Amino acid sequence: MKRYGWTVSSWGIALVLTLPILALIVEALLPAEDIFRHLWASVLPAYIGNTFWLVSLVMGLSLLFGLPAAWLMAMCELPGRRWLQWALILPLAMPSYIVAFVYTDLLDYSGPVQLALRDWFGWQSAGDYYFPPIRSLGGAALVLGLVLYPYVYLLGRTAFLEQSTSLIQSSRLLGCTPWQSFCRVSLPLARPAIAVGLSLVAMETLAEFGTVNFFAVNTLTTAVYDTWLGYGSLQAAAKISAIMLLVVMVLLSLERMSRKRQQVFQKSMGHEQEAGYRLTGGRKWAALAFCWGLVGLGFLLPFVILCYHAVRYFDQAWNARFFEYSLNSLVLSAVVAVLGLAIALLLGMTHRLKGKRHTVLPLRLAAMGYALPGTVLAIGVLVPLTMMDFAINDLALWLSLPEPGLLLTGTMTAIAFGYLVRFGAMAIGAVESSLNKVSPSLDMVTQTMGYGPAAMIRRVHLPLIRKGMLAGALLVFIECMKELPAALLLRPFNFQTLATYVYQFVSDEQLELGALPAIVIVLVGLIPLIFLNRSLEQHH
């Protein structure tokens, strides 16, 4: 039994973690009920159209913001470049719905920008001038573009840094201008990495709930949320979720294809020396204004406004509820991070010890949940857990015992399980990556010395992969702290996390009172960015 214990355990965990996806597919394949048919005939086509345009616009804006910034940081010499290349990642730490509220407050009809314009030019009403509405599909795309462009920037910059300088110099010797060299050499080589970045942006946009709901832009994500909470129809919500699942699978397939091509393009490229286009005069100032403008609009301005509100309304925000919800978030995130790490170690070690094809499949299955948008995941979790709750209560009734009620869906079990399914992939990826760097010869030497699997893991592997384990657990912890849509759908009654607490204030247009917990979320979100920046600096 010992021989098969590792394999059986890893398969068991993988199947439990894929249960929400399987349940979602089964529920979606059942005959359609009246609510879904009504939604399909009335609003769903418009929601699908909105989702398509939103994803397309955000991808376009992320490319427009991220790609020039990546090239400038990798290829040009600019004053303060070392600080700037790190600062350009910062918008990732800022929840998009907070940025949405800040810009709505600034740019609405009653906001300071339009008040100033009316004051300067003597305009009396909205009929005297045109100002683009921030609460629109375009406004949502702009906010998400400012928050998500770092995906394209990070992968693009890494790809440019890895390119052979001799190729770029050769193109210059052949008479290419810097622009022609970029178009004919740098961009084609970086294209697969940029495609991966854009697919990540597309999946994040598809999963976005806070901003689109606040701006009243109806997408498939809001449709899932409204169908479950508004109509109370789990089956209709599951069918809409299945449509989103299909879109995610298409995006993942495109991303995998890009990655295959990336391996072919950049197999033996190396950045032999610092490439340096020395920008001067107007070009230098334009490049600095563009890059610092992105940092300012995507992070600094919202953060300064949050700090202002947090100081001004500190007495009202610093209360028992703030501490209670902070504790809720910390405990929940810590529990999921520890469980995620334990699962990652079990799956990673099983594959390491057995080293067979059938042990890599549980790893891949267990990591599938990360691709699911939060609302889709929540429905996938609710379907099996609701059935289990009914079964437990029916069993208690049959045994003449008191019915336990909502034992799974009415407690922290549902939200913890949902987070584990979605974010466990991060711990799995970090542990697997660290284990791959440990030489197989160490395993052979340890076995020769007579150590069993448990002793080998304890004495050899764990000390060597300690940093990877910490990074994985930390990433899971931070993502759990920030997660909003899954928390809104899966939390028990009268249970709030910091994310749902802040979003409640945003929905009521009272972000001033939620600024303090919002700053906590942002500061926690900065931790992985500091790790990421350090690792990038070590590589280059």
How many C-beta atoms surround the C-beta of residue 399 within 10 A? 7
Q: What is the distance between the terminal CA atoms of the chain, rounded to a whole angstrom?
A: 48
DSSP assigned state of 258: H
E-state strands within 202-251: none
- Beta-carbon contacts of 517 under 8 Å, excluding residues fewer than 6 positions away, are 317, 322, 325, 326, 498, 501, 502
pLDDT of the chain, 540 residues: tens digit per residue: 455 677 777 788 888 888 888 888 887 787 767 777 777 878 888 888 998 899 999 999 999 999 889 888 877 777 888 888 888 888 888 888 888 888 888 888 888 888 888 888 888 777 777 888 888 898 999 999 999 998 888 888 877 776 656 566 566 656 666 666 666 666 666 677 788 788 878 888 888 888 888 888 888 888 888 887 777 777 788 888 888 888 877 777 776 665 565 443 444 444 444 546 676 778 888 888 998 999 999 899 999 998 998 888 888 878 888 888 888 888 998 899 999 888 888 887 777 666 666 667 777 777 777 777 778 888 888 888 888 888 888 888 888 777 777 777 777 888 899 898 888 877 877 777 776 666 666 656 666 666 666 666 666 666 767 777 777 787 788 788 888 888 888 888 888 888 888 888 888 878 788 888 888 888 887 877 776 666 655 544
- The C-alpha atoms of residue 324 and residue 10 are separated, in whole angstroms, by 36
Tokens describing residue 467: 């940093």
Residue count of the chain: 540
* Contacts of residue 377, Cβ cutoff 8 Å, sequence gap at least 6: 20, 369, 418, 421, 422, 486
Compute φ and ψ for 278, nearest 5 degrees. -85, 110
Q: Distance from CA of residue 81 to its chain's centroid?
A: 26
d(CA 467, CA 469): 5
pLDDT of amino acid 276? 64
Three-class SS of residue 278? Answer: strand
What CA–CA distance (Å, rounded) separates 89 from 290? 14
Within 10 angstroms of residue 217's Cβ, the number of other Cβ atoms is 23
Cα(377)–Cα(479) distance, rounded to whole angstroms? 15
The 10 Å Cβ neighbour count of residue 329 is 26
* Calpha distance 286→72 (Å, rounded): 11
For the chain, the 3-state helix, strand and coil shares in percent, each to the nearest 5, are 80, 0, 20
Report the relative pairing of strands 76-77 and 277-278 from DSSP bridges.
Answer: parallel
> pTM (2 decimals)?
0.80
The torsion defined by the Cα of 172, 175, 177 and 178, in degrees rounded to 10, comes to: -10
User: Per the structure block, which two tokens stand in for 43?
Assistant: 């609003």
Query: What type of residue sits at position 216?
Result: A
Radius of gyration over alpha carbons of the chain, in Å?
25
Contact 142, 62 (CB under 8 A): no
CA–CA distances in Å: residue 535 to residues 82, 86, 425, 494, 538? 14, 11, 20, 41, 5
**Residue 277: which H helix or E strand, with range?**
strand 277-278
Q: Are 356 and 466 in contact (CB under 8 A)?
A: no
Question: Token pair for residue 202?
Answer: 């597309």
Q: Could you tell me the domains of the chain?
A: 54-265 (1.10.3720.10), 304-540 (1.10.3720.10)
DSSP-based three-state secondary structure for 76? strand
Residue 273 confidence (pLDDT): 45
The DSSP H or E segment spanning 77 is: strand 76-77
Q: Are 524 and 478 in contact (CB under 8 A)?
A: yes
Mark residue 296 as left, alpha or beta (left: phi above 0; alpha: psi -120 to 50; beta: remaining): alpha
Q: How is residue 140 written in tokens? A: 């949502």
Q: How far is CA 253 from the centre of its chain?
A: 18
Residue 461 confidence (pLDDT): 64
Report the pLDDT value the prediction gives residue 58, as an integer from 0 to 100: 95
